[in-house]
Amino acid sequence: MAKLPIVTERLIEEFGPHLNTIPPGGFAPVGEPDRVVETHCCFCGQQCGIKLKVKENKVVGFEPWEEFPFNQGKLCPKGVKRYMQDEHPDRLKAPLLRAEGRGFVPTSWDDALDRTARAIKSIQEKHGKAAFAMLGGASLTNEKAYLVGKFARVALGTENIDYNGRLCMVSAAAASKKVLGIDRAANPWSDIPKAEVILVAGANIAECAPITTDYLWRARENGAKIIVLDPRMTPIARTADLYIPVRSGGDIGIFNGMLHVMIERGWIDRKFIAEHTTGWDALEKVLERYTPEHAGKIAGVPPRLIVQAAELWGPARSSFLLHARGIEHHSKGVDNCMAAINLVVATGRIGREGSGYAMITGQGNGQGGREQGQKADQLPGARDIENPEHRKHIASVWGVPEAVLPRKGLSAVEIFEAIHAGKIKGLLSICFNPMVSLPDQDFVREALEKLEFYATIEFFMSETARHADVVLAGSLLEEDEGTTTNVEGRVILHRKVVDPPEGARADWKIICDLASRLGYVNKFKYDSPRDIFEELRRASAGGISDYAGITWDRIEREHGVFWPCPSEDHPGTPRLYEGGRFGHADGKAHFQPVEWRPATEEPDEEYPLVLTTGRVVAHYLSGSQTRRIGGLVKQVPEPFCEMHPRLAEKLGVSEGELVTVESRRGTVTVKAMIVRTIRPDTVFVPYHWPDERAINRCTIKALDPVSKIPEYKICAVRVRRATAEEAAAR
Amino acid sequence: MSERALFIDYARCIGCQACVQACEECDTHRGQPMIHLETIRRRDSVQTAPQVCMHCEDPICAQVCPADAIKKGPDGVVHSALTHRCIGCSNCVLACPFGVPKYFAAIDQMMKCDLCYDRTSIGKKPMCATVCPSQALTFMTPEELERTRRGTAVNEWVFGEERVRTKVSVVVPHEVKEVHVNLVQLGKRREKAEPDDVAALLEEG
């Protein structure tokens, strides 16, 4: 591994992203397809049901799947156009080897796998098992996620295995575990329209989880009041009953301030608190200081908005709290989430119809992806890797001594720090594109350039794959089969729609082939993903995320099954915590007192503005898939910098003009979008683009101490009109 | 129970363009969306509005068509121009009060939404209303709408002196009985602060 084998322009010429704008056979009417397959979208955590039309082993179009209960045929633009990634000109159709000065050249599967296995052995013999790391993805099916975790810990024997859900859900997961005892949305989405008041915190639902908007609007039709916290007036905030333009990083001010007011006004459920919780007294003491005035200063909003929020939330009979990355992407992301959940538990409005709590999963299998054991600190079944009983159970399912299982390893960003520091020498990744998605991009690039060996399993040449020694051509979701677990905790089935193109291989087969070459053929003998799922069921049995009673047949019959589902005659668990029974051993919810603290990097004289980042509706994560689909690129072709007219005037910037956003780590030059719908002290840039357009050149790799999630939602920047050189370099 | 009809609820629109992307997948005009997603002064607001053909009871696009290319069916659907008749004159484009028909130079023809006739004529929903994630576009019976929405459906439009009734309805507050569409007076300063101005919201405290 070293720098790119050829210049980026030539890599793009060969591997894209190119735009696919026309389906196989053109836009002429499809006529009768050979088959219509009921499956799911390959993108976000909503995992919408969709039917794909197939003709001559090609996906030629889609049909809404109206019978699937979660989305009932509804789709966002990404779902509509997802079929355009099949038959894509950029699709990798052979394993590739890095060739200095020439780019990448195709090779045989035997050669690619042999080289990879040799490199792994060589690095581990010289530097120890932990010197080779693995990075998985939250887009993988449960079966693949399970296999990745097992492969890393058994075949590689490394503790350094993590996944890109680290950039997404881990703060929500950690907070949920600490307060409620279980890391999962507490309620099915069907509870949302039954709530009297809904608090949406840091969730741009319209763009990041569009299908959920209908659930909110249905609640509104039923008379629900909606409160939205966001530094930007998003489409959900526009018609909210109360919109609070919180300053990024100030959310604890809102939550603690609301609870302060609710205590004063008697809007907490003291009976529920006494019977079903611990830790209230310590929390109540902390909350004394969070008067609306103090809380308003922290949140950067007028105190009356906090009082109004408490007045809406406090006296309601039923309520639902939804949060997402807006409060989670912080170096205090876990604290933010715990402060939010405290609000729910203090009213006792959880575990019943129309009352509950949910974090909104961002990535396709963000939920299941971490339950199956590819997260640094977890074994399958959402088991704790440091718990002797948990270790014993998994070791017995895997047929290895417990002592062989590695302990907790480094998280994703820490793995890159260890690579940069020369401690980790080799890396295997699958469906993870850190060259767009990790903060402080120059640091990430430097780290990749220091690796002795890097192999990746991908179906498109991602920006990170360009740095690889070996690229193993894997499979699209629809070229294989397997389960994912959606935002609600509903385990669903992705059916195989078409075969992978000749030369590409199903991901699970690639992993098993590698395990075999590393001497573990017997531990990775599977005939199919269903076979892997059967082992996963056994591994998860008795765990927190218990899939033991879930079968593929049941999933098909019942349109998904909610975990925990410990036996085949168990109906599954759409709603957790019914009857006030929480996930901790004592059955109680554990309040967590939370004090606000500043972000790692607050604005100052030199860098006076808050930068916050996020998604747009037409693109998904690092854009490796959506930046290749013509219709989506046409919808949002490039990143932009949202700023308030007052800020624009101060900077002398007009609409559409190129501006340079500068932080202490890097710069990016994008067009200005001047809108009154953002705080004047904040700028927003979406993160789906690479290279010169990657806003993650500017973001900071500060981590939450518990979840190790990066602080994408706040760092200090300055913005100015771009120079002629910067404009020309775009 | 009445027949299902198309309703537009602007308060629900999130501007995602799923309707536009899905319209392109409709078999009668695959590759070309016939729905427009309007952004209402993005500088001031995130409000957006989908615009489909409203299927007027007395469609002016058909009235002004010199080639008699636009036909209204017995079910009230105003069909897109018939290929062999449309002469590409754009009379319909200029006449439609909703700004729906579009002229496509590449095929020298007007095209517009035909309520997904390939789907609705066989009992399916139009593609846009099926996929719309926020159900700002919805295809249901008036009774279902009344049961599930707070607003009321209105299909009476007043453009200056002109009164138009449409097959497609919009969902508006109960007190609204007809929609008045007035001309925007250019150059006139607005007196009130922008309702979606975050800076103003912060200062109100």
Chain B hits for A635, Cβ within 8 Å: 17, 21
CA A508 to chain CA mean position, Å: 21
* Confidence (pLDDT) at B192: 59
Q: Do A210 and B14 touch (CB under 8 A)?
A: yes
Distance CA(A418)–CA(A504), nearest Å, equals 32
Long-range contacts of B160-164 (CB under 8 A, 24+ apart): B162/B97, B164/B54, B164/B56, B164/B57, B164/B58, B164/B60, B164/B97
Torsion of CA A476, A480, A485, A490, to 10 degrees: 130
ipTM of the prediction: 0.96
How far, in Å, are A58, A342, B55, B161 from residue B85 at the CA level?
36, 67, 20, 31
Question: Sign of torsion, CA A537 A540 A542 A546?
Answer: negative
State residue B34's pLDDT score. 93
What per-residue confidence (pLDDT) applies to B26? Answer: 86
d(CA A679, CA A500): 47
CB contact under 8 Å between A679 and B199, yes or no, is yes
pTM exceeding the 0.95 threshold for the entire prediction? yes
CB-nearest to A66 from B130, B196, B199 is: B130
CB-nearest to B132 from A74, A618, A645 is A74
Chain B residues near residue A206 by CB distance under 8 angstroms: 14-16, 134
**Mean pLDDT throughout B40-48?**
92
The mean pLDDT of chain B is 92
> In A, which residues are within 8 Å of B144 by CB distance?
none
Residue A194's SS3 state is helix
User: Residue B83: what pLDDT?
Assistant: 75
State pLDDT tens for residues A374-393: 999 999 999 999 999 999 99
Measured between alpha carbons, how far apart are the two ends of chain B, in Å?
A: 50
Q: Residue B82 pLDDT more than 90? A: no
Residue A616 tokens read as 């747009």
Indicate yes or no: CB of B148 within 8 angstroms of CB of A62. no
To the nearest whole angstrom, how far is the Cα of B163 from the nearest Cα of chain A?
Answer: 30
| Residue B188 binned pLDDT confidence (cut-offs 50, 70, 90) | low
Asked if the Cβ–Cβ distance from A26 to B22 is below 8 Å, we say no
- Cβ-proximal residues to A555 (8 Å cutoff; 6+ apart), any chain: A483, A491, A492, A493, A561
**Partner-chain residue, chosen from B46, B132, B202, that has the shortest CB–CB distance to A235:** B46
Q: How far is CA A266 from CA A2, A168, A261, A580, A590, in A?
A: 63, 36, 9, 20, 21
Rg of chain A over CA atoms, in angstroms?
24
What does the pLDDT read at residue A29?
Answer: 81
pLDDT (0 to 100) of residue B160: 87
What integer pLDDT is reported at residue B190 of this predicted model? 59
CB-closest option in B44, B131, B197 to A80: B131
Q: Does the structure show a pLDDT above 60 at B44?
A: yes
A83 chain-B contacts, CB cut-off 8 A:
none
Instruction: Give chain A's residues under pLDDT 50.
Output: none
DSSP secondary structure of B156-183: EEEETTEEEEEEEEEEE-TT--SEEE--
Band of residue B194 on the pLDDT scale cut at 50, 70, 90: low
Contact B199 A80 (CB under 8 A): no
Distance CA(A335)–CA(A330), nearest Å, equals: 9
pLDDT-based confidence at residue B193 (cuts at 50, 70, 90)? low
Read off the amino acid at residue B83. T
In chain B, which residue's Cα lies nearest the Cα of A193?
A: B148
B41 pLDDT above the threshold of 90: no
Helix/strand/coil for A359: strand
Query: Hey, of A653, A675, A684, which one would you mutate to test binding to chain B, going by the most B CBs within 10 A of its CB?
Result: A675
Query: Which among A139, A83, A186 has a CA at the least distance from the CA of A488?
Result: A186
Which residues have a Cβ under 8 Å from the Cβ of A527 and sit 6 or more positions away?
none
∠ CA(B27), CA(B32), CA(B37), 5° rounding? 115
Shortest distance between the Cα of B124 and any Cα of chain A, in A, equals 10
Q: What angle do CA B88, B63, B24 make, to 5 degrees?
A: 50
Q: Which long-range contacts (CB under 8 A, 24 or more apart) does A514-517 make?
A: A514/A113, A514/A116, A514/A117, A514/A120, A514/A151, A514/A155, A514/A428, A515/A151, A515/A154, A515/A155, A517/A113, A517/A114, A517/A116, A517/A117
What is the predicted pLDDT for the residue at A592? 98
DSSP structure string for A375-434: STTEETTTEETT-HHHHHHHHHHHTS-GGGS------HHHHHHHHHTTS--EEEEES--H
Is there a contact between B88 and B108 (Cβ–Cβ < 8 Å)?
yes
How many beta-carbon contacts under 8 Å exist across A and B? 150
- Using the beta-carbon criterion (under 8 Å), do B27 and A30 form an inter-chain contact? yes
Contact (CB<8Å) A26/B31: yes
B chain contacts of residue A64, beta-carbon cutoff 8 Å: 127, 130-131
Nearest to B133 among A62, A210, A645 (CB): A210
Phi-psi region of A654 (alpha: psi -120 to 50; beta: other; left: phi over 0): beta
CA B14 to chain CA centroid, nearest Å: 15
Interface test mutation site (partner B, options A217, A241, A626, max chain B beta carbons within 10 A): A217
**Chain A residues closer than 8 Å to B44 by CB:** 675-677
A717: helix, strand or coil: strand
